[in-house]
A and B are shown apart, each in its own frame.
Chain A
Amino acid sequence: DVKVTQSSRYLVKRTGEKVFLECVQDMDHENMFWYRQDPGLGLRLIYFSYDVKMKEKGDIPEGYSVSREKKERFSLILESASTNQTSMYLCASRGQTIYGYTFGSGTRLTVV
């Protein structure tokens, strides 16, 4: 089975901290995505990557950056965490499976 692993399920950080959310997939997928999920708003795309070192902004990139130095790993970076970045963060990868996409278990980030 394809696995997408997010390093933390729950994270609490202080305002102003630099935060790294890690995502690793084991199926050599080219496309990887970071979403955030908020009540009433659904999932919204922050950034995506279509190859190593290649990235594109999604719908809500402000306050975030990403890194993809290796094909299997896609990191989301909150440069200076703020309370409005408290959310559930989900990573996904896309490949040639029957479902197309595999999602990670999510990281619930609280910024205090």
Chain B
Amino acid sequence: KNEVEQSPQNLTAQEGEFITINCSYSVGISALHWLQQHPGGGIVSLFMLSSGKKKHGRLIATINIQEKHSSLHITASHPRDSAVYICAVRWTTDSWGKLQFGAGTQVVVTP
């Protein structure tokens, strides 16, 4: 069964610290997404990657296709970054645009 694994499950950081969340997947993908979910439930798309690196503000996402691995970095973390971060992939075998999700990483940034 194709799998998406995230680590760590939980992460606590002090304000200003650099945070890294990892995502590994088992077979070929056509795209990888990083999503953010705040308490209350709504999900926001942060990045869609198929290669290389993307940056948006203090967030950086990288992907290594050969190693089947992606990382999400948060620089100069802030309490408002506290959320669940979710990795999701679209397998190359999928025709419909379905996503498979990791279990999520709960990030808490303390002042």
Contacts of B31 in A (CB 8 A): 100
Contacts of B35 in A (CB 8 A): 103
A42-B104, A100-B31, A101-B33 known; A48 vs B98 contact (CB < 8 Å): yes
Within 8 A of B (CB), among A65-112: 88, 90, 92, 94, 98-106, 108
Contact A94 B48 (CB under 8 A): no
Interface residues on B, range: 20 to 34
A88 to B101, CA, bound (A): 15
Within 8 A of B (CB), among A1-46: 9, 31, 33, 35, 37, 40-45
Answer whether residue B44 sits at the interface, using C-beta atoms and an 8 A cutoff. Answer: yes
Shortest CB distance A55–B (Å): 11
Q: Is the interface of B mostly helix, strand, loop or mixed?
A: strand
Shortest CB distance A26–B (Å): 16
Contact A98 B86 (CB under 8 A): no
Answer whether residue B76 sits at the interface, using C-beta atoms and an 8 A cutoff. Answer: no
Contact B86 A43 (CB under 8 A): yes
Contact A103 B44 (CB under 8 A): yes
A contact residues vs B (CB 8 Å cutoff): 9, 31, 33, 35, 37, 40-45, 48, 50, 56, 58, 88, 90, 92, 94, 98-106, 108
**Can you list 6 A-B contacts (CB < 8 A)?**
A33-B99, A42-B102, A43-B88, A101-B99, A103-B45, A108-B41
B44 nearest CB neighbor, chain A only: A103
Contact A99 B96 (CB under 8 A): no
Shortest CB distance A23–B (Å): 13
Contact B41 A42 (CB under 8 A): no
